[in-house]
């Protein structure tokens, strides 16, 4: 007579389930960490590719990085009613690299770890490499259907590429203020870069820059203090409350709900993973002559050159509009976020 078959007791079953749950608990964080590391690596590859594009552009343009106002001197792409400086926004800078095939594809401007659903690569079919803008539109239609180009046959970039959700496409010469006044929407870029104004405008290239000049990074949130006083320690900086600070989606790209983490690329091509806003390698000199480390997202150091406040620190943002370099720009770095730079 065969002995009766013996199955698992309830206790044994619970022990097995507990062991499996424990193993899953140990493995999942490791898998998540590996995924995050892979995303950071791919994100850094994107930024290095962009920097290589900047350097390649500089090699054919007297050491200068792309500057839309300098390239579109004939106003074939855009007419800037207030001055050519209005063209110098992030979307146009990147669009110059895309239009001239200096970067492999427009998708490199969107981080693989992007968390904002309104940030997505521009459709290859939508970006016009040949004659940006619809030549069938009348002059009045072009004014009210921006982004578009003034003379498609001579255009040097496609302004439909948006560097921020708040890009303000330029209208025709008869437009009173030249800004579309957009209030947000889909954009095609995740990354921040140095400002094209003041002291940094002189470093927007390969000639006057140094290994300590931070030129590209993941975009960051908004911090509340330090408008004029350098803050040396990361703990001295506090996020603003609300959507653009404590609730900013930029915190979640590589970091967490309270601390920004990202990759920073310097002008000599080396890169650094950075946790928090204070970057020891990027320094500024205070009014008393002391040298301070810098918050890469806030412009707290300044010196006066004539009537222009020239920011000397690394201030990395995606810029929605250009800044008039002929005027006192004290307000330029405190202007409303939807007019100047994008944080989310």
Please tell me which residue, 28 or 271, carries the higher pLDDT value.
Answer: 271
Mean pLDDT calculated for residue range 241-255: 90
Domain-located, residue 182 = no
Reported pTM: 0.81
Residue 281's pLDDT is 77
Q: Which of 150, 159, 168 is nearest to 75 (CA)?
A: 150
Say yes or no to pLDDT of 181 above 50: no
65 inside domain: no
Instruction: Tell me if 71 sits within 8 A of 312, measured CB to CB.
Output: no
Residue bearing the bigger pLDDT, 107 or 160: 107
| 70 within domain boundaries | no
> In terms of pLDDT, which residue wins out, 128 or 95?
95
Domain annotation covers residue 288: yes
| Of 32-41, 172-181, 295-304, highest mean pLDDT | 32-41
CB 94 within 8 A of CB 87: no
Instruction: Answer yes or no: are the C-beta atoms of 323 and 330 closer than 8 Å.
Output: no
Nearest one of 336, 111, 120 to 244, comparing CA atoms: 336
Separation of alpha carbons 5 and 20, rounded Å = 25
pLDDT at 98 over 50: yes
Tell me, yes or no, whether 74 lies in a domain: no
Tokens 């927007």 correspond to 204
Q: Tokens 């590719």 label which residue?
A: 49
Highest mean pLDDT range out of 11-15, 29-33, 258-262, 332-336? 258-262
Question: 160, 126 in Cβ contact below 8 A?
Answer: yes
Hey, what long-range contacts does 16-21 have (CB within 8 A, 24 or more apart)? none
The range of the structural domain enclosing residue 217 comes to 193-311
Does residue 295 lie in a domain region?
Answer: yes
Among 178-187, 197-206, 285-294, the least confident range? 178-187
**Average pLDDT over every residue of 38-59:** 94
Q: Quick check: 306 pLDDT over 60?
A: no
294: confidence class by pLDDT, cuts 50, 70, 90: confident
Give the CA-trace dihedral at 255, 261, 265, 266, to 10 degrees.
180
The DSSP code for 268 is T
Which residues are within 8 A (CB) of 117 and not within 5 positions of it... i.e. 6 or more apart?
none
> pLDDT band for position 101 (50/70/90)?
very high
Q: What is the pLDDT of residue 282?
A: 73
The token pair that represents 240 in the structure block? 């603003």
**pLDDT score of 140:** 44
Q: Which residues pair with 272 in a beta bridge?
A: 264
Kindly state the average pLDDT of the residues 184-196.
Answer: 88
Report the alpha-carbon distance of residue 344 to residue 337 in Å, rounded: 10
On whether the CB atoms of residues 191 and 217 are closer than 8 A, the answer is yes
CA distance 305 to 125: 45
pLDDT of residue 191: 96
Kindly tell me if the per-residue pLDDT of 82 is higher than 60: yes
- Counting the structural domains of the chain, the total is 1
pLDDT over 90 at 337, yes or no: no
Q: Is the pLDDT of residue 49 over 80?
A: yes
Cα–chain center distance at 286: 26
Q: Give the pLDDT of residue 138.
A: 44
**pLDDT given at position 335:** 44
263 found inside a domain: yes
Tell me if 227 is assigned to some domain. yes
Does position 171 have pLDDT exceeding 90, yes or no? no
- Please give the average per-residue pLDDT across 147-170, as a whole number: 81
Q: In whole angstroms, what is the distance from residue 145 CA to residue 291 CA?
A: 48
**Omega of the bond prior to 147 within 30 degrees of 0, cis?**
yes
């Amino acid at each position: 007579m065969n002995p009766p078959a013996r199955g698992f007791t309830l206790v044994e079953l619970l022990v097995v389930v507990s062991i499996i749950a424990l193993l899953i608990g140990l493995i999942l964080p490791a898998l998540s960490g590996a995924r995050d590391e892979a995303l950071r690596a791919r994100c850094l590859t994107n930024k290095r590719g962009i920097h290589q594009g900047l350097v390649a552009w500089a090699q054919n343009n007297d050491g200068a990085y792309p500057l839309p106002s300098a390239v579109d001197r004939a106003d074939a792409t855009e007419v800037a009613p207030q001055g050519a400086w209005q063209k110098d926004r992030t979307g146009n800078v990147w669009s110059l690299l895309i239009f001239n095939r200096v970067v492999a594809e427009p998708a490199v401007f969107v981080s693989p770890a992007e968390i904002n659903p309104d940030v997505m690569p521009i459709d290859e079919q939508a970006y016009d490499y040949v004659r940006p803008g619809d030549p069938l539109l009348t002059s009045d239609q072009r004014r009210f259907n921006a982004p578009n180009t003034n003379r498609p046959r001579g255009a040097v970039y496609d302004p439909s590429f948006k560097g921020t959700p708040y890009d303000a496409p330029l209208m025709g010469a008869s437009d009173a203020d030249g800004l579309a006044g957009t209030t947000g929407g889909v954009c095609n870029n995740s990354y921040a870069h140095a400002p094209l104004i003041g002291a940094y405008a002189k470093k927007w290239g390969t000639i006057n820059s140094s290994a300590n000049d931070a030129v590209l990074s993941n975009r960051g949130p908004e911090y509340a203090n330090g408008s004029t006083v350098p803050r040396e320690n990361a703990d001295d900086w506090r996020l603003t409350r609300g959507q653009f600070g404590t609730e900013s989606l930029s915190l979640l790209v590589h970091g967490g709900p309270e601390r920004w983490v990202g990759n920073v690329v310097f002008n000599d091509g080396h890169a650094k993973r950075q946790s928090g806003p204070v970057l020891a390698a990027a320094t500024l000199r205070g009014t008393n002559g002391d040298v301070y480390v810098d918050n890469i997202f806030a412009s707290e150091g300044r010196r006066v050159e004539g009537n222009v406040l020239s920011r000397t620190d690394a201030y990395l943002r995606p810029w929605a509009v250009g800044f008039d370099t002929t005027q006192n720009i004290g307000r330029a770095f405190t202007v409303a976020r939807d007019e100047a730079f994008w944080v989310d």
